[in-house]
Structure 1
């Protein structure tokens, strides 16, 4: 405990502390020295180099984005304004079977692996090489890395339209084993996507087992989030259970109009599965998804907006239907002409979104795509949208519960030691925000907009966001598996 003789780096005075555990809020001073929280309570006698008057503001653990695709963004844009402006202090990369490492290519890999960057960005033959680069060129946020199934397949197989043979599987196993030894936190699959659609349960299970043997987790973008969502969830749960790995279902949703309302069924299934195996999930607070552009998804959607198009970059932000009318063709033909590209797909029901994000096991993940020219607003707005829209305005659940699912729950799920909590000895990943004004500003029409109400963000005790702007500091660390000690 700090004493009157201790000079701390920073003290928050009279903050409303929400500590990440779900416990009721309380008012206290909080002191930070170096990269740790060193005292909480009445600290009137504690000297500090900086004092932040925090009366009426909430001080919470920094938010953990459990579902990001920031593998390349943390290198290309290390200030990470897309995240720190929301209060995010740690990101989990490599989701949906897509990771930047381990992979080296001569030409751009197939989508969705290609959404991470250009061919030159895939320059890391091992996870160790990627993590070494992060340590030498740190971003503003802490990073944890999953190893993507599609990335492993692209690196090991010439023909992705079949199950891996024994030799190819052996290569993938070895690369995954090396990645886990280097500090990857687990294995992610995306059997929904073409590079991994031909993979069998046996193939995915064998790789998930490698991750599990190293203490890792298994995350899954399931095979089908539409009509076959229940069977697909069961597949992911089976893979994790047989492999012995805790499971996280990525961006849980039910998609397509005829599936509206089925979140009751899927959430009940996940609750039942937790009786015998650890199964979590993340979700984002929007009724639209975002991915690469394909005509195959159009029939599920009430609206589709282009996020980028290589042959027609001027079409970013426009709806496919409007483009098709202008070109005198149907929507599928327009989507084909626009490829390669990306899109926002409106295919979910608001009632399902509310039901999913309200569930006590729901972690919050942005699933944003940093390279999109006209991105989904979740890239800039996910966390403040939950706090402002769903908590304060809609009152779906209370602020303590929202903070728990953005901090303490993901820290426990992914094993991030001494993070996700406001407690003595924890890393000083902290966000100070105004509960009366916090809200997302990003919209589908104007998606690159900084959220309101996020006043101060610390990563490892260093301010990275203050008064609506980046400080330029880059104190982020690599979060490793098991003990998750910071590198």
Structure 2
């Protein structure tokens, strides 16, 4: 398969080859199949192609179909419907990656998408994650500039001198519109301000929603890489009351462990791996912002990974207790 092949649906032979590779990966313990149907390399894959691949998952208990849906903008409801149908037809659990409704004219549509998910939950297993920011971050593509209120440019390889500037200002300097500016800055990433607080709150409150950062490491990044979980605890729990503290912690710990099949993790229980965070509920808060995205958060006192202290009294110890975790591994 070549890069050009992504401009069209896969052939029967290509699907068969992908299924072989997927089965090898599943036998090695991967969590499942993840798709990015919103992106150029995958957007030409029809539903039937994704179903054919996802059916491979059914032979591996606990394997998931995880998707960055085909459209989170004007066709968000249609995309949720497609996602539900893929899980139903393949007979596998589904996780929607960082569910959102993009664009001011789509604000509020999470009421409908969550209703669709609730209806489907009567018959199949569905979950999702959300991050606590009104701005997303991904590759800077011309077609993605149309729905955002504003866009910050980061990591432009072609024009690093414009990193950190708003795309509208860059377009002015270049004497073109924002779509053309995005084209000239490529390859690059952008931070897109394009979601409503009401949708974020509504999605976060759903019982099948996990908290996820979707953080992308790099020399410049979205503050969610550093601030996501303290932000939920400080702003969404303590300040705004969007979630009770216990529910927020469940969405960060035992719920992801349950959904992804991480055995003996996610709970404070004898015989479980000692992955622990000690924080001050009265002071925990994200300090990272779009100007200084790497500022450490306040109120995190101790962190243990597999029983190893990696943060003690607010200071990094240099010890490393992490390990790879495979599907179903105890």
Same fold? TM cut 0.5:
yes
Counterpart-to-counterpart distance in 1, 2:191 and 2:123: 36
Counterpart-to-counterpart distance in 2, 1:381 and 1:319: 22
The residue that corresponds to 1:471 in the other structure is 317
The residue that corresponds to 2:75 in the other structure is 228
Counterpart-to-counterpart distance in 1, 2:12 and 2:183: 36
Alignment of 1:99-178 (within 5 A): 158-178=4-24
Residue correspondences, number: 329
The residue that corresponds to 1:335 in the other structure is 182
1:455 aligned to which of 301, 308, 315: 301
The TM-score, its normalising length taken from structure 1, stands at 0.66
Task: Please provide the CA RMSD for this pair.
Answer: 1.3
CA distances 1:379-402 after superposition (whole Å, capped 9, x unpaired): 111110000000000011210000
Secondary structure, aligned partner of 1:411? helix
Secondary structure, aligned partner of 1:310? coil
Counterpart-to-counterpart distance in 1, 2:22 and 2:56: 7
Task: Identify which of structures 1 and 2 has the higher relative contact order when contacts are C-alpha pairs closer than 8 Å and 6+ apart.
Answer: 1
Contact 1:186 1:212 survives alignment (8 Å)? no
Counterpart-to-counterpart distance in 2, 1:173 and 1:461: 38
Counterpart-to-counterpart distance in 2, 1:369 and 1:440: 17
Contact 1:256 1:348 survives alignment (8 Å)? yes
Alignment of 1:85-484 (within 5 A): 158-215=4-61, 216-371=63-218, 373-481=219-327, 483-484=328-329
The structure with more radius of gyration:
1
Secondary structure, aligned partner of 2:7? coil
Q: CA deviation at 1:352?
A: 1.0
Q: CA deviation at 1:157?
A: 6.1
Counterpart-to-counterpart distance in 2, 1:295 and 1:201: 25
Counterpart-to-counterpart distance in 1, 2:317 and 2:28: 31
Q: CA deviation at 1:325?
A: 2.0
Counterpart-to-counterpart distance in 2, 1:323 and 1:158: 31
Instruction: Name the structure where strand makes up a greater proportion of residues.
Output: 1
Contact 1:156 1:172 survives alignment (8 Å)? no
The residue that corresponds to 1:129 in the other structure is none
Instruction: Name the structure where helix makes up a greater proportion of residues.
Output: 2
Secondary structure, aligned partner of 1:431? strand
Counterpart-to-counterpart distance in 1, 2:12 and 2:175: 49
User: Structure 1: which 5+ residue stretches go unaligned?
Assistant: 1-154
CA distances 1:273-326 after superposition (whole Å, capped 9, x unpaired): 101000000000011111101111111011000111001112211101111222
CA distances 1:102-161 after superposition (whole Å, capped 9, x unpaired): xxxxxxxxxxxxxxxxxxxxxxxxxxxxxxxxxxxxxxxxxxxxxxxxxxxxx6764111
Secondary structure, aligned partner of 2:41? helix
